[in-house]
Amino acid sequence: MRLKYRAIRICGLALCVLGVTTGLRAAMPTGAASGSVGHAAPDFALPAALGNNVRLSEYRGQPVILSFWSSRCGLCARQLVALDRYYGTYRSSGLIVLAVSVDDDAQHAQDYARAHVTAFPLLLDQAKTVSRAYGIGRLPTTVLIDRGGVVRFLHSDDGAGDESYVAQIRALLDDKFGGL
């Protein structure tokens, strides 16, 4: 009998702990990135690995794909190739693609940029201020921003080859969100 009460108390305690941790998890933000959909994209200015500085706000009025990557991330390399294809297809319609490196060593990102040329700028966020502003928790992460500077879609995966990306890019290009 005593063992039965002890088992019930342990189960009750386990359920209590489970309830508290589940409640805390639900109350905790999952990162600014997931909560940023529908909000203004944080502005930034970063140097390009090869080229001039780039400021996000300079592209207001155009849909922007912002991709966070690292030179040591194999999934990121595939993502950048897919985004380069999309940029080649949709840049005449006004699409902008910016890729932000979160490498600690700027030289690694610059070497990668020289070895893997893209038609869009590869930017350096060595201090990680931009990746923190967007709440980036894993790589690659891609943020799709409408013409009005509002985050509309967020992907924390390497699925840029997925047809949903094309549909979302077309929605941004068609300005289905009221843009400006």
Same structural domain, 46 and 99: yes
Same structural domain, 98 and 44: yes
Same structural domain, 25 and 51: no
Residue 36: its pLDDT value, please? 85
Output the six-digit token pair for 165.
Answer: 């990306």
Residue 60: its pLDDT value, please? 94
Q: Quote the CA–CA distance of 143 and 154 in Å, as a whole number.
A: 5
Q: Does 169 map to a domain?
A: yes
Positions of the chain with pLDDT lower than 50, given as ranges: 3, 5-32, 179-180
8 Å CB contact between 169 and 108:
no
Count up the domains in the chain and report the number. Answer: 2
Residue 16 appears among annotated catalytic residues: no
Whole-structure pTM value: 0.78
**Active-site pick, 11, 16, 73, 76:** 76
Q: Does 178 map to a domain?
A: no
Same structural domain, 59 and 10: no
pLDDT tens digits, one per residue of 97-149: 999 999 999 898 899 989 889 999 999 999 999 999 999 999 999 999 999 99
Residue 175: its pLDDT value, please? 87
Among the listed residues 30, 29, 32, 28, the one whose alpha carbon sits nearest the alpha carbon of residue 133: 32
Range of the domain at 72: 32-173
Cα–Cα distance list, 179 to 57, 72, 106, 133, 175 (Å): 14, 35, 34, 22, 6
